[in-house]
């Protein structure tokens, strides 16, 4: 049986806050929309359509650049209008799934369970969760004015699955201006029997800003924590300053290196690469390559950050230790933290920079050079 899907992503998502609609915001390092697209692709669907707001078509296409074959079409002023536009682009299929982009916790196993129900004879089916909380009616002032019996109530989720001809007939009969809360209610209004199967808490809908943290905790069970370490050292030479963690630090000498010799960020790059299993900084930026002569280490750090994003991972925390007798690091420590946090797009609370000495032992103790070690903690798909 052929299977197609329409992902509804045309909303503004204003209640979630942010500068862009929530479907393009990052969830555990990956755009919300991509979670659903990738789940549907893994389920081997024949065609996937995404309906988007008219002002966000370019943003949607950029977000979906890593998902070839997914088609973007303009949505409408209501959810029903957006699905109608998506179905027109999708064309006939034996089974059609309609899914909200704001429910990124989709797994291929749910697609399979819905498909099985349709193949067993159902015309329309959706996942649903039993309502377990006590329900009350309230007035506009928050006063309780009545009770609601919860025994027969369920909270309906998406994706919702339909026999293709059932959904097409229901939309064909619905007025152009019709606006339903979901597609299960639309086909029910057309006279089709609808059923539900066991839902999944991870299919919660992202509505408010705080929902992101809740869903990240639910999805976190499928993530692995990876820790990488890095170490770097450079000799002192001629100069009047050092570059340390992106900050220019005045000193009587400089550091010798092919690039700007920023030992703090070099160690951090190695830590990030180590957590990804991507080798070391020399593999990505060979010192024999003249294009890196005098280069800013922010180039190297940006590259490492991009590799983290490509791996669908997220940086949780970084810790850098500078090892030297001189110069004094404490006057510049907070600025180093801020520059590192900015370069990695991290909150300041997730960045640590500190310094120590070797009690005048070894090359650092003799002030022949400066060293750094770093630790980076990532969360990445298991």
Q: Domains in the chain: how many in total?
A: 2
Same domain, 203 and 237: no
Compare 12 and 30 and report the one with higher pLDDT. 30
Same domain, 247 and 195: no
Q: Which of 155, 182, 207 is the last residue of a domain?
A: 207
Same domain, 186 and 258: no
- Give mean pLDDT, residues 328-341: 96
pLDDT for 222 = 63
Rg (CA), the chain: 27
pLDDT at 96 > cutoff 90: yes
Q: Tokens standing for 264?
A: 């703090």
Same domain, 70 and 134: yes
Tell me, yes or no, whether 217 lies in a domain: no
Q: Tokens standing for 382?
A: 């298991």
pLDDT at 298 > cutoff 90: yes
Q: What is the CATH number of the domain that holds 269?
A: 3.30.1330.50
pLDDT for 304 = 94
Handedness of CA 111, 116, 119, 125 (dihedral sign): negative
pLDDT for 13 = 55
- Measured distance CA(378)–CA(210) in Å, rounded: 22
Tell me, yes or no, whether 52 lies in a domain: yes
- Tens digit of each residue's pLDDT (9 = 90 or more) over 117-141: 999 999 999 999 998 888 899 999 9
Q: Which of 155, 180, 207 is the last residue of a domain?
A: 207
- Measured distance CA(319)–CA(364) in Å, rounded: 20
pLDDT for 116 = 95
Confidence of residue 196 (pLDDT cuts 50, 70, 90): very high
pLDDT for 295 = 87
Give the DSSP per-residue string, 24-88.
GSEETTEEHHHHHHHHHHHTT-SEEEEEE-TT-HHHHHHHGGGSTT-EEEE--SSHHHHHHHHHH
Work out the percent of the chain whose per-residue pLDDT is above 70: 97
Give the DSSP per-residue string, 308-333.
HHHTT-EEEEEEEEEE-SSS--GGGH
Compare 78 and 291 and report the one with higher pLDDT. 78
- Tens digit of each residue's pLDDT (9 = 90 or more) over 254-266: 999 888 999 999 9
pLDDT for 150 = 83
Using DSSP, state whether 6 is helix, strand or coil. Answer: strand
pLDDT at 18 > cutoff 80: no
Same domain, 341 and 244: yes
Q: Which of 162, 181, 207 is the last residue of a domain?
A: 207
In 10 A of CB 340, how many CB atoms?
26
- Give mean pLDDT, residues 107-126: 95
Most confident listed range (117-126, 137-146, 199-208, 284-293): 117-126
Q: What is the CATH number of the domain that holds 176?
A: 3.90.550.10
- Give mean pLDDT, residues 241-252: 95
Q: What are phi and psi of 166, to 5 degrees?
A: -65, -50
pLDDT at 22 > cutoff 90: no
- Measured distance CA(171)–CA(174) in Å, rounded: 5
The two beta strands, 154-156 and 3-9, are unpaired
Domain that includes residue 252, residue range: 223-381
Tell me, yes or no, whether 175 lies in a domain: yes
Tell me, yes or no, whether 215 lies in a domain: no
List the single range of 217-226, 258-267, 332-341 with lowest mean pLDDT.
217-226
Same domain, 192 and 240: no
- Cα 348 to chain centroid, rounded: 20
Tell me, yes or no, whether 218 lies in a domain: no
Same domain, 57 and 135: yes
pLDDT for 220 = 66
Same domain, 257 and 190: no
Same domain, 194 and 227: no
Tell me, yes or no, whether 97 lies in a domain: yes
Same domain, 9 and 33: yes
List the single range of 10-14, 50-54, 241-245, 276-280 with lowest mean pLDDT.
10-14
Confidence of residue 300 (pLDDT cuts 50, 70, 90): very high
Q: What mean pLDDT value characterizes the chain?
A: 91
pLDDT for 15 = 54
Tell me, yes or no, whether 151 lies in a domain: yes
pTM (2 decimals)? 0.61
Same domain, 14 and 76: yes
Q: Give yes or no for a contact between 211 and 23, defined as CB atoms under 8 angstroms apart.
A: no
pLDDT for 380 = 82
Tell me, yes or no, whether 212 lies in a domain: no
Same domain, 201 and 227: no
């Amino acid at each position: 049986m052929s299977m197609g899907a329409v992902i509804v992503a045309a909303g503004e998502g204003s209640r979630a806050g942010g500068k862009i609609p929530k479907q393009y915001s990052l969830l555990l390092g990956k755009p919300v929309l991509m979670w659903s697209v990738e789940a549907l692709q893994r389920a081997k669907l024949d065609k996937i359509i995404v309906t988007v707001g008219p002002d966000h078509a370019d943003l949607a296409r950029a977000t979906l650049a890593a998902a070839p074959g997914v088609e973007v079409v303009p949505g409408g002023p209501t959810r029903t209008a957006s699905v109608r536009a998506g179905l027109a682009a999708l064309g006939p299929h034996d089974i059609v799934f309609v899914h909200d982009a704001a429910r990124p916790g989709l797994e291929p196993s749910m697609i399979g369970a819905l498909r099985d129900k349709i193949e067993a004879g159902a015309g329309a089916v959706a996942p649903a969760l039993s309502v377990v909380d006590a329900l009350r009616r309230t007035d506009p002032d928050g006063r309780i004015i009545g009770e609601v019996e919860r025994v027969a109530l369920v909270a309906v989720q998406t994706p919702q699955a339909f026999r293709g001809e059932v959904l097409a007939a229901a939309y064909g009969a619905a007025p152009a201006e019709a606006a339903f809360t979901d597609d299960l209610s639309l086909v029910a209004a057309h006279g089709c029997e609808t059923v539900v199967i066991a839902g999944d808490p991870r299919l919660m809908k992202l509505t408010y800003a705080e929902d992101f943290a809740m869903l990240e905790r639910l999805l976190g069970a499928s993530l692995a924590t990876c820790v990488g370490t890095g170490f770097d050292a450079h000799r002192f030479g001629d100069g009047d300053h050092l570059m340390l963690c992106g900050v220019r630090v005045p000193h009587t000498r400089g550091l010798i290196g092919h690039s700007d010799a920023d030992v703090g960020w070099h160690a951090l790059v190695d830590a990030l690469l180590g957590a990804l299993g991507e080798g070391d900084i020399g593999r990505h930026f060979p010192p024999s390559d003249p294009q890196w002569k005098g280069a800013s280490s922010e180039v190297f750090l940006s590259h490492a950050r991009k590799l983290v994003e490509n791996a669908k991972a997220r940086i949780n925390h970084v810790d850098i230790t500078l090892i030297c007798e001189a110069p004094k690091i404490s006057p510049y420590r907070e600025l180093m933290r801020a520059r590192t946090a900015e370069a990695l797009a991290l909150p300041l609370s997730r960045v640590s920079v500190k310094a120590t000495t070797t009690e005048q032992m070894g090359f650092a103790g003799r002030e022949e050079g400066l060293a750094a070690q770093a630790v980076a903690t990532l969360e990445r798909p298991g």
